[in-house]
Amino acid sequence: MAAAAAAAAGFLSSESRVRAGAVGGLRIPAPVTMDSFFFGCELSSHARSFTFKVEEEDDAEHVLALTMLCLTEGAKDECNVVEVVARNHDHQEIAVPVANLKLSCQPMLSLDDFPLQLPVTFRLKSGSGPVRITGRHQIVTISNDVSEEEEEAELCPILPANKQGAGP
């Protein structure tokens, strides 16, 4: 569980991980909760794309961590190219191929929790599939509720060290 908390912290900027405390400028860490849910979709000649997005009003940070792409029952021995359509750092839409699967030589690809910011669209650029995409939808929530006790907390002043009797 400690690894999951560390992973959650990695998805957040340093500013979003802490909140300004009311005590002499002391920064108090905000309570962070992380939920993780299975994700899966299938691309085929009948459904060539799938878009995963969340509600705009949601204040939580969402990340889709892809774990595997694989051909499923009924796949032909043809190249199945899967691309991801997302936004780059300038908020421009870009399409990047992430897998080229073929039943006879590479029927699956492990992505080891490859993180994507939402919204994201998966497209079967070529081939007829079916290609199954699996992963985890991670939701990181930071509580901004500050209790009255935390706001009223006071720091003990730092006192100078007591000097033991000075020698003659």
- Write down the pTM of the prediction: 0.65
Give me the pLDDT at residue 70, please: 96
Residue 66, helix vs strand vs coil: strand
* Beta strand 131-142 pairing with 32-43: antiparallel
CA distances from 43 to 29, 49, 87, 167 (A): 42, 6, 21, 85
Q: Let me know: does 133 contact 82? Beta carbons within 8 Å.
A: yes
Spatial contact of 130 and 44, defined as CB atoms under 8 Å apart: yes
pLDDT at 134: 96
**Positive or negative torsion for Cα 62, 15, 17, 25:** negative
pLDDT average per 10 residues of sequence, the chain (168 residues) = 42 38 50 88 95 81 92 94 91 92 94 89 95 94 63 60 66
